Amino acid sequence: MTDDTLPQLLSAIQKSDDGDFLRVLAETTLNRLMDFDAENAIGAARHERSADRTTYRNGFRDRTLETRVGALELKVPKFRTGQSYYPGFILEPRRLMEKALTAVIQEAWINGVSTRRVEELVQAMGMTGISKSQVSKLCKEIDERVTSFLERPLEGDWPYLWLDATYLKVRQGGRTVSVAAIIAVAANTDGRREIIGLSIGDSEAMAFWMEFLRSLVKRGLKGVKLVVSDAHEGLKAAIVKAIAGATWQRCRVHTTRNLLARAPKAQQSRLATLLREAFTAPTAEKAHATWRAIADQARSVHPKLAEAMDEAENDVLAYMDFPAAHRVKLHSTNGLERLNKEVKRRADVVGIFPNEASIMRLVGAVLMEANDEWQLQHRYLSIEAFAGVSTIEEEADRFALAPPPATSILTPRAA
pLDDT single digits (tens) 358-371: 899 889 988 988 99
Residue 338 located in a structural domain: no
The C-alpha atoms of residue 32 and residue 186 are separated, in whole angstroms, by 48
Between 64 and 269, the more confident residue is 269
| Least confident among 43-52, 86-95, 214-223, 264-273 | 86-95
* Cα angle 349, 336, 104; round to 5: 25
Tell me the C-alpha to C-alpha distance, in Å, between residue 275 and each of 162, 169, 229, 272, 313. Answer: 22, 36, 19, 5, 11
223: left (phi over 0), alpha (psi -120 to 50) or beta: left
Q: Look at residues 26, 61, 91 and tell me which one is the last residue of a structural domain.
A: 91
Instruction: Kindly state whether residues 175 and 298 are assigned to the same domain.
Output: no
3-class DSSP assignment, residue 126: coil
Given 64, 91, 118, the domain boundary residue is 91
Q: Are residues 184 and 243 in the same domain?
A: yes
One domain, residues 120 and 86: no
Domain annotation covers residue 104: yes
Q: Are residues 190 and 241 in the same domain?
A: yes
Write down the mean pLDDT value for the chain: 80
Is 30 inside a domain boundary? Answer: yes
Task: Quote the percentage of the chain above a pLDDT of 70.
Answer: 74
Domain extent, residue 44, equals 5-91
Gap between the Cα atoms of 152 and 132, Å rounded: 30
Min mean pLDDT across 13-22, 28-37, 201-210, 290-299 is at 13-22
The answer to whether residues 315 and 240 belong to one domain is: no
Q: Would you list the DSSP string of 30-62?
A: HHHHHHHHHHHHHTS-TT---TT----EEEEEE
**Residue 162, beta-bridge partner list:** 185, 228
Same-domain check for residues 241 and 185: yes
CA angle in degrees (0–180, nearest 5) for 198-204-207: 75
Which of 91, 117, 151 lies at the terminal end of a domain, its last residue?
91
Report pLDDT digits (tens) over 27-79.
887 888 888 888 888 888 877 888 888 888 888 888 777 666 677 888 888 88
The DSSP secondary-structure symbol of 320 reads G
pLDDT at 111: 52
pLDDT tens sequence across 290-304: 999 999 999 989 999
pLDDT tens-digit readout, 169-188: 998 888 889 999 999 999 99
Instruction: Indicate if the pLDDT at residue 313 is higher than 90.
Output: yes
Asked if 191 and 304 sit in the same domain, the reply is no
Model confidence at 414: pLDDT above 50: no
Between residues 80 and 176, which one has the greater pLDDT?
Answer: 176
pLDDT value at position 75? 86
Indicate if 62 and 204 belong to the same structural domain. Answer: no
Asked if the model's pLDDT at residue 226 lies above 90, the reply is yes
Residue 339 placed within a domain: no
- The whole-number pLDDT of residue 138 equals 65
Q: Compute the distance between CA of residue 291 and CA of residue 414 in angstroms, rounded to an integer.
A: 24
Residue 389 in any domain: the answer is: no
> What pLDDT score does 413 carry?
46
Is residue 205 domain-shared with residue 349, that is, in the same domain? yes
- H helix and E strand count, the chain: 15, 8
Residue 123 lies in a domain: yes
Are residue 375 and residue 256 in the same domain, yes or no?
Answer: no
pTM score of the predicted model: 0.68
Determine the average pLDDT of the residues in 136-147: 78
pLDDT band at 269 (very low <50, low <70, confident <90, very high): very high
Sign of CA dihedral 35, 39, 45, 48: negative
- Domain presence at residue 337: no
Position 392 scores a pLDDT of 44
Pair 181, 108 in one domain: yes
User: Per-residue pLDDT for 402 more than 60?
Assistant: no
- Inside any domain, residue 390: no
Q: Are residues 406 and 364 in the same domain?
A: no
Element (H, E) at 74: strand 70-79
CA distance 50 to 361: 44
Digit-coded pLDDT (tens) for 235-261: 888 998 999 889 999 999 999 999 999
**CB within 8 Å of 260: residues ≥ 6 apart:** 268, 271, 272
Least confident of 40-49, 264-273, 396-405: 396-405
Select the more confidently predicted residue: 15 or 346.
346
Q: Structurally, how many domains does the chain consist of?
A: 3
> How many angstroms separate the CA atoms of 168 and 149, rounded?
21
